[in-house]
Copies of this chain bind each other. A is one copy, B any other.
Amino acid sequence: MEDIVDQELSNYWEPSSFLQNEDFEYDSWPLEEAISGSYDSSSPDGAASSPASKNIVSERNRRQKLNQRLFALRSVVPNITKMDKASIIKDAISYIEGLQYEEKKLEAEIRELESTPKSSLSFSKDFDRDLLVPVTSKKMKQLDSGSSTSLIEVLELKVTFMGERTMVVSVTCNKRTDTMVKLCEVFESLNLKILTSNLTSFSGMIFHTVFIEFILALQFIC
């Protein structure tokens, strides 16, 4: 009566049949025509692409895609208890919630760790006399020491003039979130002619040494 195309239930779950060959290539779609070979053979219709039966193949593809995604979801979630379609999603949900909670916890911990450092007053003052600290520019204000969060906490700022053309700016600061990026942004925003720059991260600090062309620099810094 309606037992057309009735076979191909060799395995319980679709993905395991042909997907483990491609091994985690979920987005490659529509995965060639791996199935059609085993399916078109049983198609009784002479017309290759019957108008009605064009839907059933795309439906197959849709199901297959969904199963692929589900399989992929299962692979990124550790501690999968059951292979159930529903259980996979359930585990994924609780896993996501766990990650979100952990992330908040870690961020809070970081925020707490970053708020403690303080001090470092003594030697930053001591280094002042080392050589002229030109933190008068508007942009350079961002480098000001003692800033609480998300700003650059400068521990040492040393400027050395070499000859008449160049100066060497040496900055030591605590390594916080995206401190390197902010440092680079500050220097880039100054539109200086940077000859060479050197960034070293170590022991929770960042050592930055920049060689700057002098003539262009003065109008911005002083």
Question: B-contacting residues of A (Cβ < 8 Å)?
Answer: 2, 62, 65-66, 69-70, 72-73, 76-77, 85-86, 89-90, 92-93, 95-97, 99-100, 102-103, 106-107, 109-110, 112-128, 156, 162-163, 166, 174-175, 177, 195-196, 198, 200, 202-205, 207, 209, 211
Contact = CB atoms under 8 A, between A and B. Distances in A.
A85 B99 contact: no
A124 B123 contact: yes
A116 B198 contact: no
Contacts of A73: 89, 92-93, 96
A147 to B, nearest CB: 16
A102 to B, nearest CB: 6
A86 B103 contact: no
Q: Which A-B residue pairs are the 7 nearest by beta carbons? A: A116-B204, A123-B127, A69-B89, A106-B106, A99-B99, A119-B120, A113-B113
A96 to B, nearest CB: 5
Contacts of A166: 202-203
